[in-house]
A = this chain, B = another copy of it.
Amino acid sequence: MILNKTTEYAFTILGFMATREEEMYSAEYLHDQLKIPRRYLRRLLTDLTKHGFLKSSLGRNGGFVFAKELKEINFQMVLNALEGSDALTTCFLGFSCCVVDHPCVMHDTWVEARSKMIETLTNTSLADLREKYQRDIAKNIPTI
């Protein structure tokens, strides 16, 4: 498994919010649109707020907006916030004693493959997602 469900949900939510035009998104609306379980979604939104990706506003007509510029949020940051920095850095062969000075036999191969992935996650911001979405729409490409 590459990502756990919670992280995947977070990506779904942020990706959705980044590509759509609403000013503000309520938990209820996101639930309707994305079919993520209601209560779980709410907890996750609170979590994303605490991590500084979103800002919440209380009261009627309240909801969630981005707390930063879209270009300042990338997928690596989100993954890191939700799964911790270990998520992409543990030894491939599962040896806890595998470190740079005393690597396992798969170390270099794995570091290389993994760093490609980390690079992609780091280099892709929500702003990139939004741009791509708008380009696709303009070209009439069916897009989610």
Contacts and interface: CB of A to CB of B under 8 A. Distances in A.
Interface of A: 1-4, 8-9, 11-12, 15, 19, 83, 87-88, 90, 92-95, 97-98, 101-106, 109-110, 112-114, 116-117, 120-121, 124, 129, 132-133, 136, 142-144
A106 B129 contact: yes
Contacts of A105: 15, 19, 129, 132-133, 136, 143-144
A1 B86 CA distance: 8
Contacts of A4: 1
- Number of copies of this kind of chain in the complex: 2
Contacts of A87: 1-2
Contacts of A116: 113, 116-117
A24 to B, nearest CB: 21
A76 to B, nearest CB: 12
